[in-house]
């Protein structure tokens, strides 16, 4: 019954992500007008910001799932937290790749240790360390407990990354100012489509990864039962 539910949501989200990514790609490259100052290179912005928001969402899910595990000690919350962290690292990596591609022609540098770039790199390193920590622990209960604490504390860097361009002087522009987006209507629509597409892709990957983890857990349970029946350890 669980597999049927996963399959339904996986197909629905997969189809939505596919259509959304195609639409976002077309709108970013064709529909949206070039930015007055940066020109066509600004089109990377839609994928860059979409990846950043999705990474924040993924790490936020890891944070919430970690808290739920600490409160309830249920295996499913640990599985969701770990899966979301893995996906978040992928999207955060996209942020760190698309950022320099945009920055070099726009600002004349691939990388500079300004607050936004530095805190984003720190965020990536935090969750890479989170996965390394998980892989280093064999006991499932201890791994889940330590990971939940680490993932919860590590989330502190997310609001720091978000607020860095407001707290410190950086080369990044402020997109939202005075409650309004500093973009033309076609740019806003393109950005919304790109963000929705990336978030849909995130949920598709989350469903697939948790399904895979459930299968792995079931396999481990069957192996344990098999060995127990034969008096093996």
The reply to whether the predicted model has a pTM over 0.85 is: yes
134 within 8 A of 143, measured Cβ to Cβ: yes
String of DSSP letters for the chain: -HHHHHHHHHHHHHHHHHHHHHHHHHIIIIISPPBTTTBGGGGHHHHHHHHHHHHHHHHHHHHHHHHHHHHH--HHHHHHHHHHHHHHHHHHHHHHHHHHHHHHHHHS-S----HHHHHHHHHHHHHHHHHHHHHT---HHHHHHHHHHHHHHHTTHHHHHHHHHHHS--SS--SEETTEESS-HHHHHHHHHHHHHHHHHHHHHHHHHHHHHHHHHHHHHHHHHHHHHTT--
pLDDT at 1: 44
- Per-residue pLDDT 10s for the chain (233 aa) are 456 666 777 888 999 999 999 999 999 999 999 887 777 888 898 999 999 999 999 999 999 999 999 999 998 999 999 999 999 999 999 999 998 888 777 777 778 888 888 999 999 999 999 999 999 998 889 999 999 999 999 999 999 998 887 777 766 666 655 555 667 889 999 999 999 999 999 999 999 998 887 777 667 666 666 566 666 55
């Amino acid at each position: 019954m669980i597999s049927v539910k996963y399959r339904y949501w996986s197909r629905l989200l997969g189809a939505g992500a596919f259509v959304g990514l195609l639409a976002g790609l077309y709108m970013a490259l064709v529909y949206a007008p070039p930015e007055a100052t940066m020109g066509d290179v600004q089109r990377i912005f839609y994928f860059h910001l979409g990846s950043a928001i999705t990474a924040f969402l993924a790490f936020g899910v890891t944070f919430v799932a970690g808290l739920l595990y600490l409160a309830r000690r249920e295996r499913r919350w640990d599985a969701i937290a770990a899966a979301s962290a893995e996906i978040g690292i992928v999207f955060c990596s996209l942020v760190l790749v698309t950022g320099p591609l945009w920055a070099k022609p726009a600002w004349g540098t691939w990388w500079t240790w300004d607050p936004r770039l530095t805190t984003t790199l720190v965020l990536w390193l935090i969750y890479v360390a989170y996965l390394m920590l998980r892989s280093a622990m064999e006991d499932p209960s201890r791994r889940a407990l330590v990971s939940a604490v680490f993932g919860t504390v590590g989330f502190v860097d997310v609001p720091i990354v978000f607020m860095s361009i407001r707290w410190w002087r950086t080369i990044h522009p402020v997109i939202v100012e005075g409650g309004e987006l500093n973009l033309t209507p076609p740019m806003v629509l393109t950005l919304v489509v790109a963000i929705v597409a990336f978030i849909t892709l995130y949920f598709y990957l989350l469903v697939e990864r948790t399904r895979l983890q459930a299968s792995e857990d079931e396999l481990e349970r069957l192996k344990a039962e098999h060995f127990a029946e034969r008096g093996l350890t």
